[in-house]
Structure 1
Amino acid sequence: MPRNWLLLFLLCLMVLIACDFCWIQDCSDAEEEEYACSECNFQLTALTQAYNQKEWRDLSCCLSDQFTFYFNPADSIYVSFTFPDLQLDRDQELDILKNMFENAPSISLTLSGDRVMSYSGDPTGESKLLPRSYDLTVFLADGVGYRIGGECHFVVAPEDGTYKIVQWQDLSSSSASIIKEDGIRDVENDKSWGYVKWIFR
């Protein structure tokens, strides 16, 4: 009988050790996922700061070498003559933003949201989808500008030891306020973040 109790005790001890090991592994995975999420959000914070400070070189550090910006299809009436595939690659994006940052007297950008989701377009599971709401105001040189709000999707993926923005899809659906420095002047439909970029092409 004592031998049976000893075997039972050893068996229970082994089960407890195994469960404890699994719990430690689960915590480790959770920490890695949380770290990855922090890295994802960091790039969007850096993008927002680059817009507000009009530093296109800082923004270039956020973009992957494989970066693509996708215009809202609603902008095709304007954009398709210049960009028939309704896309911008990394060099085109940076050229436009450099022109915008150097010529727009004032830019204000706010991104809202903190969701980090798996991205079905990457079978490795490393890429993450970050849906965000935005509020963007860009004044032009003549004191007239646009205030636009809407939705956009960012996809980030590991590159050179950190997450970088691989895709940026404009999903704007709200109207744009055409504004003067002394207030709102008019409202136009179907204007988007991509449209403002197109102005500075």
Structure 2
Amino acid sequence: MSMQDKTKNTARHQFLIPSKVNIMVHPSAVSAHNVWLKFRSKKSSIKISDVDKYYKPLVRIISDGNLYLYFDHFERMSQIFQEESKLRQPFIIIAGHDQQIVKMAWSEVLTLCFYRDVNHVLLWQHLKKHCAQSILRELMNCDDLRVEDYCRFAGIDQHQYEYQQSSLVDEIKELGLEQDTSWLYEK
């Protein structure tokens, strides 16, 4: 490994004030971030704005000139933007590799499967639609992308999934919407 390769892969710790720098979602993580925004839990978060900056969770970002790009830790970044944007925050600046960035972004979305109030049917449909199947199979450690695989990964009983599926169909019928709901029954 040459000296140039070593410097490329080194990470450096830096404190930034988010309101004074440009921080945005990495272009390779935008699709995952959008799915995360749609399904994230609308719960209260723990207020850590008064915690010393050396004890706050680190977030990995990529430096691109005057722009900093994040690709995971969506919940933490949301909290920083909403409550702590004027405070110095600890970041780790790393070199970016698109394939790893995409995997990390989608792994962040997959953590939503473990939330109590998530709509598993809609989340699974969005995952299958927006995430590459090879990445889903790798992250979920499965060979196929069937409902059974999703239920096993999410730690739910398939009957729970089917109940949510039927409830969703009932909601659509109650609203009087004429929609093709055949996608709900794909196995």
Task: Name the TM-score, length of structure 1 as normaliser.
Answer: 0.22
The structure having more radius of gyration, on CA atoms, is 1
Task: Name the TM-score, length of structure 2 as normaliser.
Answer: 0.23
Ranked by relative contact order (alpha carbons within 8 Å, sequence separation 6 or more), the top structure is 2
More strand by share: 1
